[in-house]
Amino acid sequence: MADTGKTSDRYDYMLLIPTLILIVLGLVIVYSASSNIAAHEYLRPYFYFERQFFYCAFGLLMLMIARNIPCTLYARIVYPMLCLSIILLLLLFVPGIGHKAGGATRWLHIAPFSFQPSEVVKFTLAVYMAYSMARKGSDMKYALTGLVPHLIVVGIFIGLIALQPDFGTCVILGMWLFIMLFVGGARIFHLLLLLVPVLPLMWLAVMNSDYRLKRWLAFIDPWKDPRGIGYHIIHSFLAFGSGGWFGVGLGNGKQKLFFLPEPHTDFILSVAGEELGFAGVAIITVLFGIIIIKGIKVALDARDIYSTYLSLGLTIMFGLQVIINMGVVMGLLPTKGLTLPLISYGGTSLVLNMFCIGVLLNISSRS
């Protein structure tokens, strides 16, 4: 796919500035949420903060690199990217390389580095869908040419991720694929037919897994077992409730003191709600909203249909993670092990999300 447009030197500040503000906010909240845990586990209150600061610096480097790489380059190497992503997922099941934690094997340990292959898969699939849908054009409305090939490719990745197991990521990829196929021109009738086998399979996956069933029951009525399955979400409620309008003050939160599980990763927004209050959470939500709306605008203004699909795919993936994480910590969705982009502690997610923002900046510069 030829790159027919020049890249300007300007940066899209409506996309860049909210991203940088969220990263800085994330650093501050990560330190506040993790200092007591780090002091207890590593005798160093700055342990998680120092690592997050390194991830932020590396992420900024990747953002600038992605900003200056023509987005059409990814289309030329999309099939090697797919093969590499499958290899990375398969390596998770190799003893000594795949790292098991919390009952799931989601991390690769290679030399001094560790990362989550599923985060790489998200970007790879966004490139593949953009490239494939742009090539097929009007053929997307036919089941055999527009629907089935994409279901097979994405289904392979979802299957490998399900074996980890990582049900939350599978659900996100399934929702994302449904939206992308709709945008690409697939017929609504075909998409609705997909739900006929998918919904029962999801129900069986929940019913046949003890921990998933407990999460579903906790979502329905967490107060029925406040010290068991409802513990996570109840303490998240307490954090938000005690925050009030303007919070108890940065660093003064109580739920992070070994009450709220995963305060610096999955439930970091609960810590922000307690310490920064409704006002702080509202600001975070608005900043995420600006990034998502700007990402959609970048897609609408893109020079070619491939760039439109790519920017839209990256924006939808980012937006789904934000919405689902916020829904989980506020009790609007069942609990999932999902971090809040740009804010939660975690290297792979932070770096890949910043890389994707850099890709959006590149597409914006070619508009």
Q: What is the 3-state secondary structure (H, E, C) of 299-313?
A: HHHCCCHHHHHHHHH
Residue 2's pLDDT band (cuts 50, 70, 90): very low
Half-sphere exposure of residue 305: CA atoms within 13 angstroms, side-chain side: 12
d(CA 340, CA 346): 10
Pairing outcome for strands 113-115 and 98-101: unpaired
Contact 238, 261 (CB under 8 A): no
Is residue 110 scored above 80 in pLDDT?
Answer: no
Is residue 99 scored above 90 in pLDDT?
Answer: no
Q: Which residue has the higher pLDDT, 137 or 30?
A: 30
What tokens does 302 get? 């893109």
For residue 198, what pLDDT is reported? 85
Looking at residue 224, the DSSP 8-state letter turns out to be G
Q: 157-163 long-range CB contacts below 8 Å, 24 or more apart? A: 157/85, 157/86, 157/89, 157/121, 157/125, 160/86, 160/89, 160/90, 161/89, 161/118, 161/121, 162/205, 163/93
Q: What letters, b where the CB count within 10 A reaches 16 and e where it falls short, cover 165-185?
A: bbbbbbbbbbebbebbbebbe
- Please identify which residue in the block is written with the tokens 């860049």: 16
Contact 238, 227 (CB under 8 A): no
d(CA 30, CA 51): 10
pLDDT (tens digit per residue) in 183-239: 998 889 888 888 888 888 888 888 887 778 888 888 888 888 888 888 888 989 999
Contact 295, 311 (CB under 8 A): yes
Summarize the confidence of residues 36-45 as an average pLDDT: 88
d(CA 104, CA 247): 35
pLDDT (tens digit per residue) in 327-346: 999 988 888 778 899 999 98
CB contact set of 312 (below 8 Å; sequence gap of 6+): 180, 183, 295, 296, 299
Residue 8's pLDDT band (cuts 50, 70, 90): low
Contact 173, 115 (CB under 8 A): no
For residue 112, what pLDDT is reported? 65
Alpha-carbon distances, residue 265 vs 85, 240, 306, 339 (angstroms): 25, 16, 34, 6
For residue 157, what pLDDT is reported? 94
Which residue in 60, 125, 142, 131 sits closest to 320, CA to CA?
125
What tokens does 151 get? 């279901």
For residue 102, what pLDDT is reported? 62
Is residue 3 scored above 60 in pLDDT?
Answer: no
For the chain, give every domain's residue range: 13-365
Radius of gyration of the chain (CA): 21
Is residue 123 scored above 80 in pLDDT?
Answer: yes
Is residue 244 scored above 70 in pLDDT?
Answer: yes
Is residue 113 scored above 80 in pLDDT?
Answer: no
CB contact set of 237 (below 8 Å; sequence gap of 6+): 222, 331
Contact 20, 263 (CB under 8 A): no
Number of C-beta neighbours around residue 144 at 10 A: 8
pTM above 0.85? yes
List, in sequence order, every residue forming a beta bridge with 113; answer none if it has no partner.
Answer: 110
Q: Which residue has the higher pLDDT, 21 or 1?
A: 21
pLDDT (tens digit per residue) in 281-318: 999 999 999 999 999 999 999 999 999 999 999 999 99
For residue 4, what pLDDT is reported? 47
Is residue 145 scored above 70 in pLDDT?
Answer: yes
Q: What is the mean pLDDT of the chain?
A: 89
